[in-house]
Amino acid sequence: MRLPGPICALAALALLVLPVRAVAQTPWHETWSVEGDVGWDFPVSGNLLSAAIGRINDQATVIDSQSYGDIYGTGVKWGFGVGYRLDERSEVRGSMAFQSVSADLNKIGSVANAPLYATFDAYKSFSFEGGYRRYFADSDQRLRPYAGGTLGIAIIREIDADLAAPDLGLVLNATDFYDRTGAFTIGFNGGVLYAITERVDVQGELGFRHVSGLSGIDGLKNTGLESTNDNSGRWTLPFTVGLRVRF
């Protein structure tokens, strides 16, 4: 049985960390830290398309509700962050992350009772966030649990789609579903650092993150299907693993 990606990543970290002999820990006085991480963004709620009824080419058209998970599944995220220590247990942070997730062919509804299919552009976003982290152990401890929160903006690339109802010989190319969007983000997270040297930590983090709705639809104006973007805000459950260096 093939294990999920997050479990494999944790197992790999465990193999790296567990054999490391104890390193004498003393309270550190470094002010800055940098970290890199990779993770998986599990969809929780939000629809790329909400249900709607209208007309395309003067044919009765039904769009079925399609969640982000239905269209894109779980996406991989890559991130980089910088932290500034306020005191022994408090830190302010800035981070950026990139995500790109491709979509497969999906049945999204019907036209005149014939199946309607779509292929969507990849979901691509750059996010820039600032936040606060509170540790629950001093820096002389090897294991340091923490919790925190973030606020920021995600720049999401325009999302087009090719639509087709093969039974009717109908094809609509590059239909503009969502323009490029600057979306508001808010997140809550918790995790743990494990020191492998006096300046280097490995970390694992689990969060809960909201990205506000995408921009309005242009390509379906005057079809009665404009409401398909009514619930395009989304909640996700991001899980990341990474490496942090203090200096």
pLDDT at 211: 97
Is 229 within 8 Å of 217 (Cβ atoms)? yes
In the predicted structure, residue 5 carries a pLDDT above the cut 70: no
Instruction: Convert the pLDDT of each residue in 89-125 to its tens digit.
Output: 999 999 999 999 999 899 999 999 999 999 999 999 9
Residue 108 domain flag = yes
Residue 173 domain flag = yes
Secondary structure letter of residue 167 according to DSSP = G
pLDDT at 28: 53
The tokens for 121 are 């552009």
Nearest to 123 by CA among 234, 8, 202, 1: 234
Residue 38 domain flag = yes
Residue 36 domain flag = yes
Residue 24 domain flag = no
Per-residue pLDDT band for 29 (boundaries 50, 70, 90) equals low
- Contact residues for 205 (Cβ-Cβ < 8 A; gap 6+): 37, 39, 189, 190, 191, 192, 238, 239, 240, 241, 242
State which amino acid sits at residue 56. Answer: I
Nearest to 167 by CA among 118, 112, 109, 106: 112
Count of structural domains within the chain: 1
Residue 18 domain flag = no
In the predicted structure, residue 129 carries a pLDDT above the cut 80: yes
Return the CATH number at 159: 2.40.160
Query: Rounded mean pLDDT of 19-26?
Result: 42
- Residue 169's domain comprises 31-125+144-204+230-246
Instruction: Convert the pLDDT of each residue in 34-91 to its tens digit.
Output: 999 999 999 999 999 999 999 988 899 999 999 999 999 888 999 999 999 999 999 9
pLDDT at 24: 41
Angle among Cα 165, 121, 175 to the nearest 5 degrees reads 50
Instruction: Convert the pLDDT of each residue in 141-197 to its tens digit.
Output: 999 999 999 999 999 999 999 999 999 999 988 787 898 999 999 999 999 999 999
Q: How many CA atoms lie within 13 A of 81 on its CB side?
A: 28
- In angstroms, the CA 201 to CA 241 distance is 11
DSSP notation for 98-149: EEEE----EEEEEETTEEEEEEEPPEEEEEEEEEEEEESS-TTSSEEEEEEE
Is 148 within 8 Å of 129 (Cβ atoms)? no
Residue 216, φ and ψ in degrees, nearest 5: -65, 155
Instruction: Convert the pLDDT of each residue in 183-239 to its tens digit.
Output: 999 999 999 999 999 899 999 999 999 999 998 776 677 888 888 888 899 999 999
Residue 138 domain flag = no
C-alpha separations of 225 from 26, 51, 62, 110, 233 in Å: 62, 9, 8, 12, 18
Residue 178 domain flag = yes
